[in-house]
């Protein structure tokens, strides 16, 4: 699936386990800068996730089903290879706090080394989401807290299903 001729595409990669309102904020704001956004869901068999890659892709596709300029696809391997094959020249990354910066800077510099034509754009989330992470959402939910204002309804429902079927899911 290469980029539509003449339309610039940016890739927003992540594990999205689960997608949060903070992720959605970055996607929506990125869509104001680029005609097409490809949400790239990382498939990493070495990393234990609560939601399978297929579940994460399906959830994100459902959330953005009425927005054809936002695409969703799973990927594994090097991000630079994925962006090259998909015709993207920009990567969007969110920075919540200064603690994210060092890691993200290293990744951006390595990606630039691997593909000098690939640019990384760092976006700050809206202030109300600066504290938000997928790990925090899972932990709060597992301990009985409300995540209603932190994730889309489909994610909250999926968390209910996962934790109802396996209350120990958080430790995976």
Task: Say which CATH number the domain at 65 has.
Answer: 3.40.50.620
Among residues 9, 56, 93, 134, which one is catalytic?
Answer: 134
Is 77 a domain residue? yes
Mark whether 84 is an active-site residue. Answer: no
Give me the pLDDT at residue 167, please. 59
Give the total number of structural domains in the chain: 1
Position 41 confidence tier, pLDDT thresholds 50, 70, 90: very high
Is 142 a domain residue? no
Is 113 a domain residue? yes
Give me the pLDDT at residue 169, please. 57
Is 154 a domain residue? no
Question: Who wins on pLDDT, 64 or 97?
Answer: 64
Give me the pLDDT at residue 4, please. 46
Q: What is the pTM of this model?
A: 0.90
Is 171 a domain residue? no
Among residues 9, 23, 36, 93, which one is catalytic?
Answer: 23
| CA-closest candidate to residue 28, choices 129, 170, 157, 115 | 129
Interatomic CA distance for residues 14 and 28, integer angstroms: 15
Is 108 a domain residue? yes
Mark whether 76 is an active-site residue. Answer: no
Q: 140-161 burial, b for 16+ CB within 10 Å, e for fewer?
A: ebbeeeebeebbbeebbebbee
pLDDT tens for residues 124-155? 999 999 999 999 999 999 999 999 999 999 99
Mark whether 61 is an active-site residue. Answer: no
Is 102 a domain residue? yes
Position 2 confidence tier, pLDDT thresholds 50, 70, 90: very low
> What would the two tokens of residue 62 be?
């459902």
Domain residues for the domain of 40 are 9-130
Among residues 29, 61, 89, 96, which one is catalytic?
Answer: 96
Interatomic CA distance for residues 128 and 111, integer angstroms: 30
Among residues 46, 47, 148, 165, which one is catalytic?
Answer: 47
Mark whether 133 is an active-site residue. Answer: no
122 secondary structure, DSSP code:
E
Is 145 a domain residue? no
């Amino acid at each position: 699936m290469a980029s539509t001729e003449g339309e610039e595409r940016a890739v927003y990669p992540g594990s999205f386990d689960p997608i949060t309102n903070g992720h959605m904020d970055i996607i929506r704001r990125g869509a104001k800068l680029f005609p097409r956004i490809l949400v790239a869901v990382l498939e990493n068999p070495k990393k234990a996730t609560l939601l399978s890659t297929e579940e994460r892709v399906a959830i994100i596709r459902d959330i953005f089903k009425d927005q054809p300029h936002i695409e969703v696809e799973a990927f594994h391997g090097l991000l630079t290879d994925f962006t090259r094959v998909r015709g993207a020249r920009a990567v969007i990354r969110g920075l919540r706090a200064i603690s994210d910066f060092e890691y993200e800077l290293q990744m951006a510099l390595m990606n630039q080394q691997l593909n000098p034509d690939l640019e990384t754009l760092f976006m700050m989330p809206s202030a109300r989401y600066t504290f938000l992470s997928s790990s925090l959402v899972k932990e709060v939910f597992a301990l009985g807290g409300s995540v209603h204002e932190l994730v889309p309804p489909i994610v909250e429902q999926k968390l209910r299903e996962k934790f109802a079927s396996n209350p120990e899911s958080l430790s995976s």
